[in-house]
């Protein structure tokens, strides 16, 4: 836990050392971006399945 | 003229059948938006702030869990002098008061025990008792509303609070996960459901900038926002969380979902318990729909809540039982009028179902692999065994055209045309029948040794149809003007950090 200090509005305190906080946010943003990649891969796989169904099972 | 009318009638039937695909397409659209969340989320506006937070915990006969809850809350990764816990004891008759007095003595200035002498009016009244005390003092900059039995992962509050650095955000909610250990089949169904209804749906709502509901077990409000909605929770309905969410957004502030803030909760492990909880939620949704009747699909009234996507998401869930009944009833009618047309429309509907099912199921597993590892069977069987069989039959025509008949013939059975037609009619009617079978599962659960069959009925009918049956029951309760009772979900304290 970092030292307590007030922000520019004097309302809240900083809890985590700045680099650790930035790392945490970066990690969370990376997780969200990876969901986009996973979504694209799943959609691609489904598209291939549909194509296979159309080509081979009709 | 008669021919024209007949064609028009057929067209209407086809449209009603295909309306059954609206909830599927809405789900698909919702899941597509999750990808957009990868590049369009609120993480760009967060800052390292930890506002002074008062946690308000409503408790009625929570002696078994409330002590541990308080200790865990105080031990969270959050500045010690910026966290207070206010437990509102709703006239408990068990050891709750004694447990809380001990906690107040052990943590002076950090834990408050607020006692209501007359309780039983519901969670909203209990919360309001706490909010009055908290807001009377200017210490709190933010208020967190939770349930007495939930377990916050250490960094959950901190991760939620960082969004309040943006003054445009009024409230933040976390990802509630089913945490019962040991978990039975129903807990696992709920676990999977929460991936779709929370981790997935709320990410999509983040993209739209319009939230359906802040989770009752974890909602962090800025003081400014809470005061702007009157400093109290709505007590006139069974959907206090949804009303709070709507009111916050109507006041011009955003409600944000933080998917990496994890909170574990115990959910019902019997159909009876689930039915009671979800009936309350579904009746609450009927009340919300009526209260905001001038808002839906009216973007000029509210840019976000009145938007097309938001309205479609809301009504595709709210009207799902009607879509299902309308679709299957029209298919059965078409069968007797124009059999080949019925067959084509049926195929189109179920192929749509298959594609959406694959997308939603596998993407849900990818969103929360931890829960997926525990609930993968329930995820796959979410639509039920019969619906999955219909999906297979639609996607693999040789299965029932050749392979199954060949296998039956090899076994000395030769199904006649009557059996084939009965099977087709059954498949057409299944969307409605599935709700009846799910309802039968509830009835069986309270019938002595027949209760052993109850889980089997849920797997056969599907968990989704069970939820639809509950929504349908909610329509009936609300139409009858049934009394609003706040049935507390029974908790046993078996939730654990995974």
| Residue B324 confidence (pLDDT) | 96
Domain ranges of chain B: 27-314, 319-479
Q: Where are the alpha helices (DSSP H) in B57-169?
A: 66-74, 96-106, 123-136, 156-161
Q: What residues of chain A lie within 8 A of the CB of B36, using their CB?
A: 36
| Residue B118 confidence (pLDDT) | 85
CB contact under 8 A, A25 and B46: yes
Cα B415 from Cα B409, distance rounded (Å): 8
B242: number of Cβ within 10 Å: 23
Q: Nearest by CB to B359, which of A7, A37, A43?
A: A43
Q: Which of residues 240-259 of B touch A (CB under 8 A)?
A: 259
With a cut of 70, which residues of chain B have pLDDT below it? 1, 4-5, 485-493, 496-498
Write down the pTM of the prediction: 0.91
Instruction: Give me the residues paired with residue B367 across strands.
Output: none
What is the second-level CATH architecture of the domain B27-314?
Answer: Alpha-Beta Complex (3.90)
Looking at the complex, report in whole angstroms how far the Cα of residue A51 sits from the nearest Cα belonging to chain B: 12
CB contact under 8 A, A13 and B366: no
The ipTM estimated for the assembled molecules is: 0.88
Cα B182 from Cα B405, distance rounded (Å): 43
Looking at the complex, report in whole angstroms how far the Cα of residue A34 sits from the nearest Cα belonging to chain B: 7
**What values do phi and psi take at B145, rounded to 5?**
-100, 125
Instruction: Give me the residues paired with residue B173 across strands.
Output: B219, B257
Cα B283 from Cα B351, distance rounded (Å): 32
Q: Nearest by CB to B398, which of A31, A33, A57?
A: A57
Q: Domain residues for A29?
A: 1-58
Q: Could you tell me if B139 and B91 are in contact, meaning their C-beta atoms sit under 8 angstroms apart?
A: no
3-state secondary structure of A13: strand
| Residue A17 confidence (pLDDT) | 63
The yes-or-no verdict on residue A25 having pLDDT over 90 is yes
Nearest CA in chain B to A48: B355
Alpha-carbon Rg for chain A, nearest whole angstrom, is 23
For chain A, what is the domain count? 1
| Residue A1 confidence (pLDDT) | 37
> Which residues in B160-208 belong to E strands, given as ranges?
169-178
Residue B172's nearest CA partner among B134, B139, B133, B146 is B146
Cα B91 from Cα B205, distance rounded (Å): 37
B332-362 burial: b if 16+ Cβ within 10 Å, else e: bbbbeebeeebeebbeebbbbbbbbbbbbbb
| Residue A18 confidence (pLDDT) | 65
Give the model confidence (pLDDT) of B34-46 as tens digits: 999 999 999 999 9
CB contact under 8 A, A50 and B355: yes
B421: number of Cβ within 10 Å: 12
Q: What residues of chain A lie within 8 A of the CB of B31, using their CB?
A: 39
First to last CA, chain A: 63
Q: Could you tell me if B7 and B338 are in contact, meaning their C-beta atoms sit under 8 angstroms apart?
A: no
CB contact under 8 A, B48 and A39: no
Question: In chain B, what is the greatest distance between 2 CA atoms, to the nearest angstrom?
Answer: 85
Residue B178's nearest CA partner among B282, B268, B272 is B268
| Residue A7 confidence (pLDDT) | 45
Looking at the complex, report in whole angstroms how far the Cα of residue B349 sits from the nearest Cα belonging to chain A: 15
CB contact under 8 A, B50 and A13: yes
Looking at the complex, report in whole angstroms how far the Cα of residue B151 sits from the nearest Cα belonging to chain A: 21
Residues 6+ apart with CB under 8 A from B221: B142, B143, B144, B145, B170, B171, B244, B248
Is B37 within 8 Å of chain A by CB?
A: yes
Residue B468's nearest CA partner among B350, B284, B314, B323 is B323
Nearest CA in chain A to B393: A57
Residue A3 burial class via C-beta count within 10 angstroms: exposed 0-12, middle 13-18, buried 19 and up: exposed
CB contact under 8 A, A32 and B43: yes
């Amino acid at each position: 836990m970092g030292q307590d200090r007030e922000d520019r509005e004097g309302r809240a305190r900083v809890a985590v050392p700045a680099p650790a906080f930035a790392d945490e946010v970066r990690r969370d943003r990376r997780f969200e971006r990876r969901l986009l990649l996973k979504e694209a891969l799943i959609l691609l796989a489904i598209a291939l399945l549909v194509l296979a169904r159309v080509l081979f099972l009709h | 003229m008669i021919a024209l009318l007949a064609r028009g009638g057929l067209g209407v039937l086809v449209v009603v059948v295909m309306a059954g695909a609206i909830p599927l397409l809405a789900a698909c659209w919702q899941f597509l938006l999750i990808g957009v969340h990868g590049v369009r989320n609120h993480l760009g506006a967060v800052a390292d702030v930890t506002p002074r937070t008062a946690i308000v915990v409503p408790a009625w006969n929570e002696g078994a869990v409330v002590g541990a809850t308080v200790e865990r809350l105080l031990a969270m990764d959050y500045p010690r002098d910026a966290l207070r816990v206010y437990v509102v004891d709703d006239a408990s008759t068990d050891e709750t008061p004694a447990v809380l007095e001990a906690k107040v003595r052990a943590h002076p200035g950090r834990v408050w025990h607020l006692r209501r002498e007359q309780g039983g009016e519901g969670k909203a009244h209990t919360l309001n008792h706490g909010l009055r005390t908290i807001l009377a003092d200017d210490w709190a900059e933010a208020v967190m509303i939770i349930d007495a039995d939930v377990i916050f992962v250490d960094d959950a509050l901190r991760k939620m609070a960082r969004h309040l650095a943006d003054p445009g955000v009024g409230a933040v909610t976390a990802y509630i996960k089913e945490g019962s250990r040991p978990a039975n089949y129903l807990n696992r169904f709920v676990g999977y459901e929460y991936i779709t209804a929370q981790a997935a749906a709320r990410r999509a709502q983040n993209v739209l900038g319009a939230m359906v509901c802040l989770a009752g077990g974890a909602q962090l409000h800025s003081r400014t926002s809470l005061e702007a909605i009157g400093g109290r929770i709505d007590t006139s309905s069974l959907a206090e969380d949804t009303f709070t969410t709507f009111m916050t957004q109507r006041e011009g502030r955003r409600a944000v979902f933080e998917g990496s803030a994890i909170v574990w909760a115990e959910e019902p492990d019997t159909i009876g318990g689930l039915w009671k909880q979800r009936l309350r939620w579904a009746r609450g949704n009927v009340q919300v729909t009526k209260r905001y009747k001038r808002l839906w699909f009216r973007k000029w009234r509210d840019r976000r809540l009145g938007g097309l996507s938001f309205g479609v998401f809301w009504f595709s869930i709210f009207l799902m039982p009607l879509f299902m009944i309308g679709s299957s009833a029209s298919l059965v009618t078409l069968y007797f009028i124009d059999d080949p047309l019925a067959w084509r429309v049926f195929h189109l509907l179920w192929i749509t179902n298959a594609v959406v099912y694959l997308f939603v199921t596998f993407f849900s597993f990818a969103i929360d692999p931890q829960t997926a590892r525990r609930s993968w069977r329930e995820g796959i069987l979410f639509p039920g065994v019969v619906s999955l069989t219909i999906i297979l039959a639609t996607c693999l025509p040789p299965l029932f055209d050749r392979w199954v008949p060949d296998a039956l013939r090899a076994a000395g059975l030769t199904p006649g045309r009557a059996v084939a037609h009965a099977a087709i009619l059954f498949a057409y009617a299944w969307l409605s029948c599935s709700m009846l079978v799910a309802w039968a599962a509830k009835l069986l659960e309270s019938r002595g040794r027949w209760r052993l069959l109850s889980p089997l009925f849920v797997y056969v009918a599907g968990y989704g149809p069970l939820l639809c049956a509950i929504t349908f029951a909610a329509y009936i309760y609300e139409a009858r003007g049934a009394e609003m009772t706040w049935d507390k979900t029974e908790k046993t304290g078996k939730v654990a950090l995974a």
